Amino acid sequence: MQIYHANIIYTPDSRHFEVVPHGYVVVSDGKVEGVYPTLPPNLSDHPVTDYGDRLLIPAMNDMHVHAPQYRNQGIAMDLELLPWLQNYTFPEELKFADLAYAEEMYRRFVRTLWRYGTMRVVAFASVHLDSTRLLMQLLDKAGMGGRVGKVNMNRNCPEGLQESVEDAIKACDVLVEEFERPDARVRPIVTPRFIPSCTPELLKACGEMARRYNLPVQSHLSENHGEIALVKELEPESKHYADAYDRYGLFGQTPTVMAHCVWSDGDELELMKQRGVMVAHCPTSNLNIASGIAPIRRFLEAGIPVGLGSDVSGGHDFSIFRMMVYALQMSKMRYEQDNSCAFLSLSEAFWMATKSAGSFFGKVGSFEPGYDFDALVIDDSDLLIDPGYSLLERLERFVYIGDDRQIAARYCQGRLIPEPI
Ligand SMILES: [Zn+2]
């Protein structure tokens, strides 16, 4: 058993922060037993890890990121989605056939997630089996968790990124055999890149893989007008973009996370709700490649789960704290256009990044009893220019103006996670 003492802040629901000043979190077997304002008498002899006046908050979850686009972070912001993929993304992903190159980039990628306090991730790798396996091993070795997808794609991309349906199925079998265990931290996820990259045969095979192994699914949905028009052309029988996934068993038949959903409304939004499909909201990406402002308030009102994603390299920033800020700012721009859509609050943004996103991995993202102890210790002493800040003001300041320098310790499933090498 471990006991941690600090200023504890988390969001049991989207509407409010639970704040326990100088409280105690009791952790047993990597899971939270309880949060207490004073140490329970039966534990008074137990050693305590004392973080003093620091903040203790749940760790971050990045629900959408492309690991092989690490090198392209912060460049190539001059195109919309489809030409951006052809000109920048696919040429970089071709390099991941080379395991030595993949290792160099993926080590940096895992270290960067760690630096920004992201302990769980839903990531796209590339189409290559060996480098995908390597990424999963590196994350696991680091003690961090998540779902990693070997990408499936066989059309509208360079030949070197196209796989046969048979190879796609074989690779899935291999990764399931090597990684898919109920207690494993890093596990596979079925990853059709998006409808334009996959023939109907490959989409069908992806749906069958998900069903056969009860694997979750990740992909992209309704990000950009050009993309939506292309999907309509490629899948003329589908009622809408989401229906194109649904017809292949890739839309909530197993747990599903869809990135963007900027233009999802009407019947598509209704289907997302019915199927419990999670939205990975990626505000910086939506800004950078001129996609639009996603209707996050509508999703929350409909009870559709929402998490936040960095979407590097459409997004340029790995920090999920910064993603909260962008999500808040974009919701205000949407509100300015449509007053019936109230803008997001800090607690809603924090909850999306922690408890809401974390539900994709099990009981993750809160300090309620039974949750995995995924936590960050925030030493914001350099931001405390005035002793008068409340604990919530300290958190808000850290979210808005802090960075990795204030993250003093990181925990995943109760284990202190050192910097990955
Ligand atoms: Zn993406």
pLDDT tens across 169-209, in order?
A: 999 999 999 999 999 999 999 999 999 999 999 999 999 99
Q: State pLDDT tens for residues 316-359.
A: 999 999 999 999 999 999 999 999 999 999 999 999 999 999 99
Q: State pLDDT tens for residues 104-126.
A: 999 999 999 999 999 999 999 99
Place of tokens 């919701």: 331
Residue 247 pLDDT? 98
Smallest CA-to-CA distance from 145 within 181, 176, 171 is with 181
| Total-model pTM | 0.98
Residue 129 binned pLDDT confidence (cut-offs 50, 70, 90): very high
**In angstroms, what is the span from residue 81 Cα to ligand 1's centroid?**
10
- Say if residues 152 and 168 touch (Cβ distance below 8 Å): yes
Tell me 311's DSSP state. -
Beta strand residue intervals within 170-296, DSSP E = 186-188, 191-192, 217-221, 256-260, 278-281
* Mean pLDDT of all residues in 367-376: 98
Count Cα atoms within 13 angstroms, Cβ side, for 307: 33
**In angstroms, what is the span from residue 219 Cα to ligand 1's centroid?**
8
**In angstroms, what is the span from residue 311 Cα to ligand 1's centroid?**
5
**In angstroms, what is the span from residue 149 Cα to ligand 1's centroid?**
12
**In angstroms, what is the span from residue 76 Cα to ligand 1's centroid?**
15
> Strand 16-28 vs strand 2-13: parallel, antiparallel, or unpaired?
antiparallel
Residue 373 pLDDT? 98
Smallest CA-to-CA distance from 4 within 321, 376, 286 is with 376
Phi–psi pair at 156, nearest 5 degrees: 55, 40
**In angstroms, what is the span from residue 313 Cα to ligand 1's centroid?**
8
Residue 361 pLDDT? 98
Residue 69 binned pLDDT confidence (cut-offs 50, 70, 90): very high
Tell me 200's DSSP state. H
Radius of gyration of the chain (CA): 21
Give CA–CA dist 238/243, Å, rounded: 5
> Strand 256-260 vs strand 278-281: parallel, antiparallel, or unpaired?
parallel
**In angstroms, what is the span from residue 221 Cα to ligand 1's centroid?**
9
Q: What's the chain's average pLDDT?
A: 97
3-state secondary structure of 15: coil
**In angstroms, what is the span from residue 287 Cα to ligand 1's centroid?**
13
CB atoms within 5 A of ion ligand 1 belong to: 259, 311
Residue 366 pLDDT? 98
**In angstroms, what is the span from residue 51 Cα to ligand 1's centroid?**
37
Name the amino acid, one letter, at 86. Q
**In angstroms, what is the span from residue 220 Cα to ligand 1's centroid?**
6
Give strand pairing partners of 121.
62, 146
Residue 11 pLDDT? 98
